Amino acid sequence: MKRLTYKLLSSILTLFIVTLLIFFMFQVLPGNPAQIILGIDADEAQIKQLEQKLGLDEPLTTRYMQWVQGIFTGDLGESLKYQMPVIDVLKQRVPVTLALALSSLVLTAILAIPLGIFIAMKQDKWYAFVLNLFTQLGIAIPSFWFGFLLIYLFGVKLGWFPTFGYTAWSENPMQAIRSFILPSVAIAVSNIAVVVRYLRNTILDQTTMDYVRTAKSKGVKDHQVMSRHIVRNAFIPVLTIMGMIVADTIAGSIIIENVFALPGLGSLLIQSITSRDFPLIQALVSYIAIFVIVINIVIDLLYRIIDPRIKKKG
């Protein structure tokens, strides 16, 4: 309980520091939001009137408290580019990013975990060596470059999948799935390679432990030792990698969404930066930071479920 309480308090402190940095960082950047909205032809009176309407004439501390409150209530102001509430802009883009992230994570889980266990069990075989070689390539190749290769091979040459764009689920579900396949694979390849190698090395380390030799000396079959003991213990450090991959998938979608022209949060962040849409940038960065913090808390809770020793120590 003490460990969980400490984790929650440290997460709250981290969130406070992150929001503080994000807010005040944008306050020191050049450019007046009211001036950006009205244009260069606006006079001083119009700018002052809009600043008062937007609350820009309030003290920094007051504006910060109102902005933090808006993060949790959804009142994040109005987008300078889209001229609509920020929360409405985000709602339009979230489904695309979530679909891309979930599809790549599912692909990572169903391929990486069995492959990692298989390579660890067959480490002396030639095909395990070949698979290890492919995992090294998967780690070395950047996801955006692999995305371009997928577009050229499966989109341009073979014509199996669309090369860019997104079809809404309500319009054509099958076409929507097809539009996510190549970007999901582009994100998942490096993640699969990382999990496979980490899981393989962790399993091999576990096989040298005393409890494995004890179990075998008692006549427990190899596959039972692997499934009941080795794999379970190996998953504890792998959870950390999976948590990092979940957070990295959201960050990695920024590049991949632009490569495949998907209208998600990643492409929205790039567009908002180029247009200097400060309210939208602040909201995106804040929600990504909150997402990463929540993932860390979830991983810590999973530690306690998988390994009861952590709960006892806590």
The predicted pLDDT at position 116 comes to 82
User: Tokens representing 263?
Assistant: 């209208």
pTM of the complete model: 0.75
The predicted pLDDT at position 55 comes to 64
- Select from 13, 20, 18, 17 the least CA-distant residue to 61: 20
Q: Which residues contact 141 (CB under 8 A, 6 or more apart)?
A: 189, 190
The predicted pLDDT at position 237 comes to 73
The predicted pLDDT at position 28 comes to 65
Tell me how far CA of residue 138 lies from CA of 135, 167, 190, 234, in angstroms: 5, 29, 5, 22
- Select from 88, 259, 94, 288 the least CA-distant residue to 179: 259
What's the CA gap between 311 and 314, in Å, rounded?
5
Q: What φ, ψ does residue 160 adopt, rounded to 5°?
A: -80, -35
pLDDT in tens, the chain (314 residues): 666 677 778 878 888 888 888 877 766 665 666 666 666 666 667 667 766 666 666 777 877 888 888 888 888 777 877 878 888 888 888 888 888 888 888 888 888 888 887 887 777 777 777 887 788 777 778 878 888 888 888 878 887 887 777 777 677 778 778 888 888 888 888 888 888 888 888 877 777 777 777 777 777 676 667 766 677 777 777 777 777 787 777 766 778 888 888 888 878 888 887 777 778 888 888 888 888 888 877 777 776 676 655 555 55
The predicted pLDDT at position 306 comes to 65
Quote the radius of gyration of the chain (alpha carbons, Å).
Answer: 24
Let me know the angle formed at the C-alpha of 116 by 115 and 120, rounded to the nearest 5 degrees: 115
Amino acid at 169: W
The predicted pLDDT at position 27 comes to 66
Collapsed DSSP state (helix, strand, coil) of residue 85:
strand
Buried b (16+ CB within 10 A) or exposed e, 45-63: eebeebbeebeeeeeeeeb
Collapsed DSSP state (helix, strand, coil) of residue 268:
helix
Residue 273: CB atoms within 10 Å: 13
